[in-house]
């Protein structure tokens, strides 16, 4: 029988997955799942903890006594931008499996462009047997923008595949085996990059950072001929009109995009039909909801023992 205040769940994910995961979660407190219609008018006044993904606009006035907010994913822009966000710690989801799956996606996309998978698919559709240039990974430099939990793991796995990997982050970093650039040296970083991988959080500083000026600074004439843009961070970090134009005019030779300014990407968006553009529906690394609830339980237990919360967002930087 639960003895503590229930945990509030407002996660705009697949309802069945949440309902299944909640069956074994929070045994000593229970939960209030806002996806469940029966909870639409439930009193949230006494709730201490909330797990959120794109929370409802009125949520924080309904739950005025929150002590900690947990994001349902690694990103927190959907919470930090929320009107009425209370001054309590916001905790990101950092998870081995999520990190691993993100790196799988990033490596897959870099290899897709290296090995010209889209061009061969097009040839195959027309029964064309023709070989295309085949550079080795070591001839290609992948520039990772954002060297946090995800960027650093992806860098290690890209290096294992043989790519030359460099990275850019706000603060200077020393990372074994790779050249790094800090916030002030973005142009030098871009000029050395053949495949740009975006793993930045969405903040005021990173909004529309991937624009025409940035694309024009990527290295032309590298082993792939033209630079490639891969984004699995946030869609609002990209100026999508500039991105489309860069692809259409050949400034970029291709792209792999998991995130978009507007999601779902509208069915008539021109990006769907541009050659050598791979599109996935914001699924590069979906949160494992069971692991998320276990993470939240562990963090709450530590918090209630007086220990520091892990992976708390810095309000000043927004990530």
Scanning 11-19, 69-77, 133-141, 202-210 for contacts with ligand OXD by CB under 6 A, the matching segment is 69-77
CB of 39 to ligand OXD, least distance (A): 24
Residues 6+ apart with CB under 8 A from 291: 95, 97, 98
180 binds, among ligand OXD, ligand NDP, none (CB under 5 to 8 A by kind): none
Of 299, 292, 284, 301, nearest to 20 (Cα)?
292
Chain residues binding ligand NDP by CB under 6 A are: 73-75, 102, 146-151, 169-171, 183, 199-203, 205-206, 232-234, 258-259, 282, 284-285, 319
φ and ψ of 141, to 5 deg: -100, 120
Residue number, 26 or 53, with CB nearest to ligand NDP: 53
CA distance 151 to 143: 10
Query: C-alpha 279: how far from its chain's center?
Result: 14
55 binds ligand OXD (CB under 6 A): no
Indicate which residue of 159, 234, 294, 315 is catalytic: 234
Q: Which of 6, 55, 75, 146 touches ligand OXD by CB under 6 A?
A: 75
By rule CB under 6 A, what count of residues binds ligand OXD?
5
Indicate which residue of 101, 170, 282, 294 is catalytic: 282
Active site residue 282: yes
Residue number, 6 or 146, with CB nearest to ligand NDP: 146
List the end-to-end C-alpha distance of the chain, in Å, as a whole number: 37
Active site residue 234: yes
Which residue has the CB atom at the shortest distance from ligand OXD? 73
Residue number, 130 or 204, with CB nearest to ligand NDP: 204
In which element (H, E) is residue 255 found?
strand 254-257
CB of 278 to ligand OXD, least distance (A): 17
Q: For residues 114-173, which are near ligand OXD according to CB under 6 A?
A: none
CA distance 265 to 150: 24
CA distance 315 to 92: 12
233 binds, among ligand OXD, ligand NDP, none (CB under 5 to 8 A by kind): ligand NDP
Scanning 34-42, 73-81, 202-210, 223-231 for contacts with ligand OXD by CB under 6 A, the matching segment is 73-81
Of 245, 146, 239, 160, nearest to 196 (Cα)?
146
Of 59, 50, 57, nearest to 31 (Cα)?
50
DSSP label of 238? B
287 binds ligand OXD (CB under 6 A): yes
Residue number, 9 or 257, with CB nearest to ligand NDP: 257
CA distance 226 to 176: 28
Please say whether the beta carbons of 84 and 243 come within 8 A: no
What are the residue numbers of the active site?
Answer: 234, 282
Judged by the rule CB under 6 A, the positions of this chain that interact with ligand OXD are 73-75, 286-287
């Amino acid at each position: 029988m639960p003895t503590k205040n229930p945990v509030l769940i407002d996660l705009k994910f697949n309802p069945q997955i949440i309902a299944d995961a909640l069956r074994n979660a929070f045994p000593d407190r229970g939960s209030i799942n806002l996806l469940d219609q029966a909870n639409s008018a439930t009193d949230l006044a006494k709730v201490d903890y909330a797990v959120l993904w794109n929370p409802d606009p009125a949520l924080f006035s309904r739950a005025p006594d929150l002590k900690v907010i947990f994001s349902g994913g690694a990103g927190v822009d959907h919470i930090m931008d929320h009107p009425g966000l209370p001054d309590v710690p916001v905790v990101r989801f950092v998870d081995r499996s999520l990190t691993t799956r993100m790196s799988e996606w990033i490596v897959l996309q870099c290899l897709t462009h290296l090995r010209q998978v889209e061009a061969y698919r097009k040839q195959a559709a027309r029964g064309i047997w023709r070989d295309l240039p085949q550079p080795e990974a070591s001839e290609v430099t992948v520039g990772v923008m954002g060297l946090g939990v995800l960027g650093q793991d992806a860098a290690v796995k890209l290096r294992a595949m043989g790519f030359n990997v460099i990275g850019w982050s706000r603060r200077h970093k020393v990372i074994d085996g790779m050249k790094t650039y800090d916030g002030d040296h973005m142009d030098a970083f871009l000029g050395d990059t053949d495949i740009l991988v975006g793993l930045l959080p969405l903040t005021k500083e990173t909004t529309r950072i991937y624009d025409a000026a940035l694309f024009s600074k990527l290295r032309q004439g590298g082993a792939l001929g033209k630079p490639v843009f891969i984004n699995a961070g946030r869609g609002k970090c990209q100026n999508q009109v500039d991105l489309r134009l860069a692809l259409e005019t050949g400034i970029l030779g291709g792209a792999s995009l998991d995130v978009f300014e507007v999601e779902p990407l509208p069915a008539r968006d021109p990006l769907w039909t541009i050659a050598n553009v791979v599109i996935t529906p914001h699924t590069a690394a979906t949160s494992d909801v069971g692991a998320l609830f276990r993470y939240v339980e562990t963090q709450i237990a530590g918090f209630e023992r007086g220990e520091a919360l892990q992976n708390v967002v810095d309000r000043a930087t927004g990530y």
